[in-house]
Amino acid sequence: MHVLLVEDDPVAGLYLNAALKGLGYHVTATTNGAEAWNVFRTLQSPVVISDWSMPEMDGAELCRRIRARPSDRYTYFILVTATGGKERYLEGMEAGADDFITKPVDIDELHARLKVADRILSLRRHVQQLEGLLPICSYCKRIRDPAEQWQSIERYVEKRSAAHFSHGICPDCYKKHVQPQLEGLGPTP
């Protein structure tokens, strides 16, 4: 799993980078939120571990930017902070952080939190795959919605998107269904 590490303290950055690599993670290390944002836009790492207090852009703002971007890939965000407390925790949650860890970082604790991140990301991928499956009747082609109600494809899609339908007849169906009916009518007097 790839981790984007954001730490402005050179000693803490080297320590975390080495520890993460020792645990088997692929790491891209940056020294502030602005640099991390530029790297993230091309890399889109599944996990970001970011110090909270940094120059140029702090960890909470980096998290807000990552959450605001349009993407179908989720990023698990861990904020590292020297100060704890309820207010700090709530501020980080409002920014979109998934988890917190305090300095000095305990590597065993960080490893456990990364295992949780991996499980959550894996479950999220599984849910996205399941959301892509639509139960459809083999005969009438109606779709079963989450409330176990069967409805037409048109109604189902229109309720969940901006799409609207117009109807026509494809050439194959015209030849198979419409043309025989028209021929059966015979000439009009």
> Looking at the structure, do residues 114 and 162 belong to the same domain, yes or no?
no
> Looking at the structure, do residues 93 and 22 belong to the same domain, yes or no?
yes
**Exposed, middle or buried: residue 7 (CB in 10 Å: 0-12, 13-18, 19+)?**
buried
Flag whether pLDDT at 136 surpasses 70.
yes
Residues ≥6 apart with Cβ < 8 Å to 189: none
Q: State the SS3 of 88-121.
A: HHHHHHHHCCCEEEECCCCHHHHHHHHHHHHHHH
Q: Please identify, among 108, 131, 154, the residue that sits at the C-terminal boundary of a domain.
A: 131
> Looking at the structure, do residues 150 and 124 belong to the same domain, yes or no?
no
Which CATH number fits the domain that encloses residue 88?
3.40.50.2300
pTM of the model: 0.69
> Looking at the structure, do residues 121 and 152 belong to the same domain, yes or no?
no
pLDDT digits (tens, 9 = 90+) for 74-104: 999 999 988 777 777 888 889 999 999 988 9
137 occurs within a structural domain? no
- Confidence at residue 90, expressed as pLDDT on a 0 to 100 scale: 86
Which residue type occupies 153?
A: I
- Confidence at residue 174, expressed as pLDDT on a 0 to 100 scale: 87
102 occurs within a structural domain? yes
In whole angstroms, give the CA distance from residue 88 to residue 58.
Answer: 13
138 occurs within a structural domain? no
> Looking at the structure, do residues 120 and 49 belong to the same domain, yes or no?
yes
Name the pLDDT band for 9 (thresholds 50, 70, 90): very high
- Confidence at residue 68, expressed as pLDDT on a 0 to 100 scale: 94
pLDDT digits (tens, 9 = 90+) for 30-77: 999 999 999 999 998 999 999 999 988 999 999 999 999 988 789 999
| Length of the chain measured in residues | 189
Tell me how far CA of residue 37 lies from CA of 5, 6, 34, 42, in angstroms: 11, 10, 5, 9
In whole angstroms, give the CA distance from residue 101 to residue 168.
Answer: 59
- The boundaries of the domain holding residue 73 are 2-131
> Looking at the structure, do residues 167 and 82 belong to the same domain, yes or no?
no
pLDDT digits (tens, 9 = 90+) for 141-166: 888 877 778 888 888 878 877 878 88
121 occurs within a structural domain? yes
Q: Please identify, among 104, 131, 158, the residue that sits at the C-terminal boundary of a domain.
A: 131
In whole angstroms, give the CA distance from residue 64 to residue 42.
Answer: 17
> Looking at the structure, do residues 35 and 122 belong to the same domain, yes or no?
yes
Q: Tally the domains of the chain.
A: 2
- Confidence at residue 189, expressed as pLDDT on a 0 to 100 scale: 62
> Looking at the structure, do residues 149 and 125 belong to the same domain, yes or no?
no
Flag whether pLDDT at 188 surpasses 70.
no
Average pLDDT, the chain: 88
